[in-house]
Amino acid sequence: MNIKNIEFFSKNLVLTKPYTIAYKTITEVENVFLLITLENGIIGIGAANPDFQVVGESPADVLKTYQSDYFQKFIGKSIKYFRSMIYDVSIAFPNKPGTLVLWDIALHDAFAKYLNIPVTAIYGQHIHALPTSVTIGIMDVQDTLRQASEYVQQGFKVLKIKTGQEVELDIERIIKVNEKFHNIKIRVDANQGYEVKDLEQFIKATNKLGLEIIEQPLLVGKETELSEIDKQYRSILVADESLKNSKSAISFTPSPQPYGIFNIKLMKCGGILSALEIATIAKVGGIDLFWGCNDESIVSITAALHAAYACVNTKYLDLDGSLDLAEDIVNGGFILKDGMMSISDKPGLGVELNNI
């Protein structure tokens, strides 16, 4: 079955809950969408929202790339060769993960729909459900507790709290949330906001609280400084902004490992195929997987979930990036119940276009 048409466009999706992280406040997010139509009418849907500050490519950059004539050469190509088409784009546009992820997701969706199977079935599903964390931005103690209470009432069992501006306030917020919600698991994301001394202070003050993870505490490039942290605490440190692709995964795998957990985001690495490369490297190194996201459409969140459930070393999910969108171009996709995420047995990603 051949590709008949390729269509792309961008849409600014407003957030219902603007939030603050260590280096910016987010109120709305631009996503780029790709529709690949096959001759039999099947439509593969892709979505991309790369973070320029992390990967050096913005949604506007992605849109500009797709406005070139390059992608028209794939019209008439058989969807059976979707992997080679993803490879071709990775070579033509190196270091452009937003460009690649858009293509990768849409082709995976189209190919799986062509076979009438879910995307994860292409690679073999090992996991069927895990809890996702939901994110609380940087705010004062009372607002943190208020938002935590809202999420707990909605059935979520895991909270991820953004930190990285004031370590003393961070410590107070984490302690207060732990005191109020004894049965809730807490994760922390510093978004590169700490120095080693801050991290050591934070660990010392919270080490008895049973935090699940501490995500990207130091600036990218300062990974060697983590050797100053005791190994038992490095095991819960997560590489996020530091981990962009398989090359960085390889660099963090030899002992002493600065991170015990890899955060894989499709928007950083360029899609499902690239994510599975990182996952394989992590498995060899005995490193757990934590699947994260930006503020994204249901399309790419579901794609990440399919990839995650195809990996035996997946342990954590943080795929809440579509939950606070006021609108989207699709419905369906992942299934969320009491904070647990699963996928349907529908073909492809199981998403359907709204009227757009």
Select 121-353's CATH number: 3.40.50.720, 3.40.50.300, 3.90.105.10, 3.20.20.120: 3.20.20.120
DSSP secondary structure letter of residue 243: -
User: Per-residue pLDDT for 213 more than 90?
Assistant: yes
Q: Which pLDDT score is estimated for 208?
A: 92
Query: b/e per residue, 251-280, with b = 16+ CB within 10 A?
Result: ebbeeebbbbbbbbbbbbbbbbbbbbbbbe
User: Per-residue pLDDT for 133 more than 60?
Assistant: yes
Report the percent of the chain where pLDDT is more than 70. 97
The pLDDT-based confidence of 20 (bands split at 50, 70, 90) is low
Task: Tell me the backbone φ, ψ of residue 160, rounded to 5 degrees.
Answer: -110, 120
For residue 217, whether the previous peptide bond is cis, meaning omega lies within 30 degrees of 0, is: no
If one compares 14 and 290, the residue with the highest pLDDT of the two is 290
Q: Which pLDDT score is estimated for 26?
A: 67
Name the average pLDDT for the chain. 95
Q: Which pLDDT score is estimated for 201?
A: 96
Secondary structure E strands in the chain: 3-20, 25-38, 43-48, 130-131, 134-136, 158-162, 185-189, 213-215, 237-239, 261-264, 288-291, 314-317, 330-332, 335-337, 340-342, 351-353
User: Per-residue pLDDT for 78 more than 60?
Assistant: yes
Where do the domains of the chain lie?
3-117, 121-353
Report the CATH number of the 3-117 domain.
Answer: 3.30.390.10
The pLDDT-based confidence of 60 (bands split at 50, 70, 90) is very high
If one compares 190 and 28, the residue with the highest pLDDT of the two is 190
Q: Which pLDDT score is estimated for 27?
A: 67
User: Per-residue pLDDT for 350 more than 90?
Assistant: yes
For the whole prediction, is pTM greater than 0.75?
A: yes
User: Per-residue pLDDT for 159 more than 80?
Assistant: yes
Q: Which pLDDT score is estimated for 326?
A: 87
Q: Mean pLDDT throughout 248-267? A: 96
Q: Which pLDDT score is estimated for 29?
A: 84
Q: Which pLDDT score is estimated for 13?
A: 86
User: Per-residue pLDDT for 197 more than 70?
Assistant: yes
User: Per-residue pLDDT for 242 more than 70?
Assistant: yes
User: Per-residue pLDDT for 180 more than 90?
Assistant: yes
